[in-house]
C-alpha cells in the first residue's frame, strides 16, 4: 500500500522486491500514505485547502498533508489515505483534491519519508523548531492536535472546503536509540534503515514517526521524536541488495529518554500465489493481516498481476487473507495452501519452509447488503455497520465485514459470501469493545438476521445501537 510520495522515495531502489516490501512495512504501521494505489475518480470531486503554521503562526514549508478516511478491517480501525499527497509551499499552503464526498481527517506530517535509494548523511536534516527548545513538532490532526480522539473531521461535498490554518502540535523531545540485532548475517550491502513508531493509545494506528533514523555506529541508530509518556512500538526494517529484514520492539516512555533498545530483525518469506478468477485481475490486491490479533505483527499486501499471479512477502506467522479490488459482487470463496484446502482466515507461514505456495479462488454472484442507519428518526452519518456470520463465535475480528455510513446515513457491502448473517450498527466509541465476547453477544441480540444466497440483495433499515 504505497502512495505517490512514498513511491518517489523508493522508485530508485535497486531491487523491486524491496520496493514492494517496504510498502508492506510502511503499511504495517499505517504510515504516511501507505495504502493501495487509488483510481482517479471520474466524477466531480471535492477539495480541501488550507495552510500549515508553527506555534507562532508562521508558515511551514515542505510539510506533507493528506486526507484520510476511517475504515475498518480485521478488527482494526485504519486511516486510509484519499486523494493526493500535498507538500506545503513557502506560504504554508496546501490543496487536497480527488476527494469523493465524505468525512475526512486531515493530517500534517512534519517528517516526510526519506529517499532510501540515496546515501543517508550523518548530519540531521534542517527542520522547523517550535518555540520550546525541548520540544519537537509531531504528526498533527486538524484542527491542530496530536491526539486522534481530539481530531475533527472535515465534511467534503463537490466544492472546496478551506480549513484555514492548521497549527502544528509539539511534544517533549525524546531520544530513541536503536541497536539492530540480526538473526543471521545480512547478505549484501545495507542501503537503508527505516524506523516506524506507533502508539498504543491511537486506535487508528497512524504512526507518530516514520523516517530513517540517524546512524551513530555500526548497527546503531537514533531518532529525536516528540513523545508523551506511554507505551509505543517501533518497527525497524533493514534494506539490503539481497533482501529485507524486519523486527519490532515495544517499549515505555516516561519523562526521560528510554534506555537503548535492542531490536532483533529477521528475513521475510516469499509466498508465491495464484488468484483464480474470471476476467482481468490486475486491479486486485492480496492483503495478509496477522492473526489472532491484527494489532500485533506486521501486515503485508501485494498487487496481483493480470495473469492472476502474485508474490507476497511476510514474516513467519499466522495471517488472515483478504482480496480487495474484486469486480461487482465477487468474493473470496476458497484457499489452498500447498495444495490443501484451508480457511483464508487462518494460514500459517512457517519460518523453516523452503517454499510457500498459495491459491485463492474467487467466485461470482455473491450477495449485496445495503440500507440506511437511523438515529432518533434521522439518518446517522459515520456509524459503523458490522456484517457478521451467525456461526461465528468469540470476537468479530477476522470473520466480520465492516463499513461506515456516508453523509446520508447510507451503507453498502458487496461481494458477501453465501450464508447466514447478522447486521448491527453502532458508534465508533464502542469499537474496542468488539474484543469482548459478552459485548459481541449483546450486539448480536439487537442485530438484524438474514440469509445471503447467490446474487441476493438486501435493503435494510438499521437503528444505531446506543452506548452501553
- Domain limits, the chain: 4-266, 269-363, 367-463
Q: What number of other Cβ atoms are within 10 A of residue 407's Cβ?
A: 14
- At residue 24, the pLDDT reads 32
pLDDT attached to residue 257: 93
pLDDT in the model for residue 132: 93
Q: Are 365 and 329 in contact (CB under 8 A)?
A: yes
Q: What's the pLDDT score for residue 401?
A: 83
Question: Does 367-463 match 269-363 at the fold level?
Answer: yes
Query: Would you give the DSSP letter of residue 465?
Result: B
Tell me the pLDDT tens digit for each residue of 169-213. Answer: 999 999 999 998 875 545 445 567 888 888 877 656 567 777 778
Residue 297 confidence (pLDDT): 62
| Cell 491511537 belongs to residue | 202
| Contact between 358 and 335 (Cβ < 8 Å) | yes
Q: Which CATH number fits domain 269-363: 3.40.50.300, 3.30.70.1730, 3.40.190.80, 2.60.40.10?
A: 2.60.40.10
Task: Say which CATH architecture domain 367-463 belongs to.
Answer: Sandwich (2.60)
CATH H-level, domain 4-266: superfamily = Immunoglobulins (2.60.40.10)
Between CA 117 and CA 190 the distance in angstroms is 11
Q: How many distinct helices (H) and strands (E) make up the chain?
A: 3, 34
* pLDDT at position 204: 60
- Classified as helix, coil or strand, 28 is helix
pLDDT at 467: 58
Distances (CA, A) of 288 to 24, 73, 300, 313: 10, 11, 5, 10
CA distances from 155 to 42, 56, 130, 381, 408 (A): 20, 28, 30, 11, 12
Residues of the chain under the 50 pLDDT cut: 1-42, 115-126, 185, 187-188, 294-295, 393-395
Amino acid at each position: 500500500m504505497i502512495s505517490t510520495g512514498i513511491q518517489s522515495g523508493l522508485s530508485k531502489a535497486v531491487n523491486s522486491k524491496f520496493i514492494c516490501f517496504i510498502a508492506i512495512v510502511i503499511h504495517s504501521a499505517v504510515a504516511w500514505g501507505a495504502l493501495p494505489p487509488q483510481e482517479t475518480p471520474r466524477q466531480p470531486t471535492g477539495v480541501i485547502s488550507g495552510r500549515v503554521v508553527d506555534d507562532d503562526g508562521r508558515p511551514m514549508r515542505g510539510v506533507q498533508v493528506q486526507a484520510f478516511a476511517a475504515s475498518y478491517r480485521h478488527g482494526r480501525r485504519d486511516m486510509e489515505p484519499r486523494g493526493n499527497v500535498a507538500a506545503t509551499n513557502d506560504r504554508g499552503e496546501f490543496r487536497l483534491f480527488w476527494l469523493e464526498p465524505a468525512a475526512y481527517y486531515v493530517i500534517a506530517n512534519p517528517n516526510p519519508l526519506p529517499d532510501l535509494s540515496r546515501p543517508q548523511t550523518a548530519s540531521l536534516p534542517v527542520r522547523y523548531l517550535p518555540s520550546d527548545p525541548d520540544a519537537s513538532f509531531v504528526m498533527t490532526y486538524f484542527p491542530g492536535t496530536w491526539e486522534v480522539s481530539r481530531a475533527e473531521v472535515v465534511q467534503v461535498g463537490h466544492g472546496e472546503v478551506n480549513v484555514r490554518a492548521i497549527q502544528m502540535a509539539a511534544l517533549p523531545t525524546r531520544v530513541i536509540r536503536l541497536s539492530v540485532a540480526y538473526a543471521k548475517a545480512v547478505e549484501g550491502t545495507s542501503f537503508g534503515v527505516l524506523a516506524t513508531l506507533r502508539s498504543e493509545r491511537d486506535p487508528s494506528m497512524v504512526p507518530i514517526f516514520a523516517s530513517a533514523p540517524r546512524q551513530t555506529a555500526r548497527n546503531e541508530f537514533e531518532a529525536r521524536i516528540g513523545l508523551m509518556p506511554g507505551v509505543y512500538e517501533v518497527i525497524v526494517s533493514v534494506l539490503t541488495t539481497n533482501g529485507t529484514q524486519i523486527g519490532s520492539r515495544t517499549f515505555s516512555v516516561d519523562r526521560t529518554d528510554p534506555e537503548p533498545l535492542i531490536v532483533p530483525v529477521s528475513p521475510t518469506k516469499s509466498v508465491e500465489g495464484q488468484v483464480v478468477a474470471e476476467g482481468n485481475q490486475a486491479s486486485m490486491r492480496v492483503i495478509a493481516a496477522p492473526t489472532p490479533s491484527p494489532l500485533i505483527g506486521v501486515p503485508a499486501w501485494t498487487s496481483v498481476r493480470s495473469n492472476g499471479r502474485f508474490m507476497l512477502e511476510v514474516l513467519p506467522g499466522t495471517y488472515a487473507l483478504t482480496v480487495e479490488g474484486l469486480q461487482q459482487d465477487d468474493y473470496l470463496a476458497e484457499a489452498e495452501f500447498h495444495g490443501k484446502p484451508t480457511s483464508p482466515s487462518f494460514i500459517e507461514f512457517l519460518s523453516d519452509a523452503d517454499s510457500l505456495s498459495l491459491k485463492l479462488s474467487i467466485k461470482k454472484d455473491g450477495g449485496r447488503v445495503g440500507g440506511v442507519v437511523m438515529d432518533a428518526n434521522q439518518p446517522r452519518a459515520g456509524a459503523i455497520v458490522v456484517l457478521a456470520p451467525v456461526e461465528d463465535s468469540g470476537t468479530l475480528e477476522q470473520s466480520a465485514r465492516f463499513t461506515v455510513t456516508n453523509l446520508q446515513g447510507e451503507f453498502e457491502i458487496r461481494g458477501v459470501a453465501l450464508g447466514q448473517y447478522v447486521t448491527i450498527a453502532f458508534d465508533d466509541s464502542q469499537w474496542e469493545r468488539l474484543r469482548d465476547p459478552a459485548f459481541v453477544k449483546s450486539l448480536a441480540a439487537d442485530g438484524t438476521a438474514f440469509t445471503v444466497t447467490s446474487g441476493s440483495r438486501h435493503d435494510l433499515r438499521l437503528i444505531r445501537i446506543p452506548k452501553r
